[in-house]
Structure 1
Amino acid sequence: MNAEDGQIQEPPQKRKSSWPELVGVRGEVAEATIERENPRVDAIVVVDGTVVPLDFRCDRVWVWVNSNGEVIRTPVIG
């Protein structure tokens, strides 16, 4: 309860940070799922072998796909 206004406050929600269940699905489906389950991140589909920045960002998820467009690595925040 907030002492100032007497309102009950909900605890902060833990948001997902990895999606192992998406390996093998289409990249576009994975992208939509990730952004729905954690609206604070931007999921970006990239083909395996593509050069991407190596910096860590808490608002980005690389979705690595093969030439068939299927996710080949567990998408994680970073």
Structure 2
Amino acid sequence: MSDDERKSWPEYVGKDANEVEQKLQAEGYNTQVLPQGSPTTRDYRLDRVRLFVDGNNKVVQTPING
């Protein structure tokens, strides 16, 4: 997958993280659900999507793969 194929899902902001996680896993992505502001590693993996959530388990920023 080239950088041109990098994906983002702005439509998932505000949605329940469990539902978003299931959809992304069905597309073949490995997901990580993390509290907003969590530190992350800087490695780049196109098969991974991190979901940053608030205290209500709602996605708070646009998920991207990488």
**Same fold, TM-score > 0.5, yes or no:** yes
Q: Deviations over 1:39-76 (max 9, x none)?
A: 1x201111112111121111100011111110011111
The CA RMSD measured in Å over matched residues stands at: 1.6
Greater length-normalized contact order (CA 8 Å, ≥ 6 residues apart): 2
State the 4+ residue runs in structure 1 displaced beyond 2 angstroms: none
Q: Percent identity?
A: 32
- Structure of greater Rg: 1
TM-score by length of 2: 0.81
> What are the residue-to-residue correspondences of 1:14-53 with 2, within 5 Å?
17-36=7-26, 38-39=27-28, 41-53=29-41
Aligned residues: 62
**Where does the alignment leave 5 or more consecutive residues of structure 2 unmatched?**
none
